[in-house]
């Protein structure tokens, strides 16, 4: 990717992952957890996903593109943060009691990132 470089787990849709080498994929991004979530004061950020020097996660600078309620558990929300072409789905539980609005610039560390082959 021109946006992201570093180590992430690739989960192929195919039963023969060796056939994936050198191919191009549309993927869904997931992470096991996030840390150090913060709202940035400037909305003029450069959206990016960069591998941490410690190689245990990615630093994400992105923009909140949507905040949607989910049915379970009651009061939960799904926050979508976009960094270039990468979308990260976060829960209200992960970010805590931080008030967010669509368009807010945010920063966080995504741990144990996986790229899921969408097999389109």
> Hey, which bits of the chain come out as E strands?
9-11, 27-39, 48-51, 58-69, 77-83, 86-91, 105-117
Q: Is the pTM of this model over 0.85?
A: no
* 108/57 Cα distance (integer angstroms): 10
Other C-beta atoms lying within 10 Å of the C-beta of residue 45:
15
68: helix, strand or coil: strand
* 9/93 Cα distance (integer angstroms): 24
Instruction: Please check whether residue 107 is in contact with residue 95, taking contact to mean a CB–CB distance below 8 angstroms.
Output: no
Low-confidence ranges of the chain (pLDDT < 70): 1-7, 9, 17, 43-44, 55, 120
pLDDT in tens, 15-48: 776 777 777 777 788 889 999 999 998 766 788 8
């Amino acid at each position: 990717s021109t946006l992201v470089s570093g180590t992430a787990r690739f989960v192929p849709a195919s039963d023969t992952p060796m056939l994936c080498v050198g191919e191009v994929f549309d993927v869904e991004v997931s992470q096991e957890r996030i840390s150090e979530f913060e709202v940035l004061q400037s909305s003029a950020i450069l959206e990016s996903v960069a591998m941490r020097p410690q190689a245990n996660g990615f630093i994400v600078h992105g923009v909140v593109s949507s905040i949607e309620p989910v049915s379970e558990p009651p009061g939960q929300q799904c926050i979508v943060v976009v960094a270039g072409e990468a979308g990260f789905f976060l829960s209200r539980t992960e970010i805590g009691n931080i008030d967010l609005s669509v368009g807010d610039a945010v920063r966080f560390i995504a741990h144990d990132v996986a790229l899921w082959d969408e097999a389109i």
